[in-house]
Chains A and B, each alone.
Chain A
Amino acid sequence: ILMTQSPATLSVSPGERATLSCRASQSVSSNLAWYQQKPGQAPRLLIYGASTRATGIPARFSGSGSGTEFTLTISSLQSEDLTVYYCQQYNDWPATFGQGTKVELK
């Protein structure tokens, strides 16, 4: 299953809302996760089941969608959120990741 993220780069001002999109080439139901990866670090699980926040993830991160269209929203961008985000489907093996969206300062 091919996962396509858009945009490749998103420019956002601190305090603004950031909306990241992920599209699957076929339905993955709600079997979708989002990860955040900071430079030089391993990815961190943010969201699973398309909309459930993982342990310790701030409430400003939310996920929505089902089927083939998904969204990660950061409600009020903080400086530490300026990094790369990946979506991943686990509806079918092999698990596959999108190519990432980089959130940068506007």
Chain B
Amino acid sequence: QITLKESGPTLVKPTQTLTLTCTFSGFSLTTSGVGVGWIRQPPGKALEWLALIYWHDEERYNPSLKSRLTITKDTSKNQVVLTMTNMDPVDTVTYYCVRFTVTTFGFDYWGQGTRVTVSS
């Protein structure tokens, strides 16, 4: 059974750095063709892809946010970490961890999501 779960702070202050951790099970990020990424969604609005890290360590970022994002992986812990710097109230959204595979090129498994509020 494949599961992903996001963890991290629910409240951060403006200008602070957000660190979110995705802990997954049921697959390995050392398997060829697999990636883990992050997608976010404002309340009632559309989805926005943020970043992805592949099994072979390649990283991809949304250009609109690239300067603020870093994605890393720890395969021994089955974890992927996303950091986002200089948080702003507009970053108050739900963040999802997702699995990606080159088999489907879709995001085939999602975490439950974690809502982050940016407020002083």
Give chain A's interface residues, CB within 8 Å of chain B. 31, 33, 35, 41-45, 48-49, 52, 54-55, 86, 88, 90, 93-100
Contacts and interface: CB of A to CB of B under 8 A. Distances in A.
Interface residues of B, number: 20
A71 B106 CA distance: 17
17 contacts: A31-B105, A42-B96, A42-B110, A43-B96, A45-B104, A45-B106, A45-B108, A48-B104, A48-B106, A48-B108, A49-B105, A52-B104, A54-B106, A90-B105, A94-B60, A94-B63, A97-B49
A42 B111 contact: yes
A54 B46 contact: no
Contacts, number: 57
Contacts of A95: 49
B interface: dominant SS:
loop
Given A48-B105, A49-B104, A99 B46 contact: yes
Nearest to A42: B110
A88 B96 CA distance: 16
Nearest to A98: B46
B47 A97 contact: yes
Nearest to B62: A94
B57 to A, nearest CB: 16
B117 to A, nearest CB: 17
A97 B46 contact: yes
A33 B106 contact: yes
Contact of A86 (B46, B63, B105, B113): B46
Given A48-B104, A48-B105, A54-B106, A43 B47 contact: yes
A87 to B, nearest CB: 10
Contacts of B107: 33, 35, 43, 45, 88
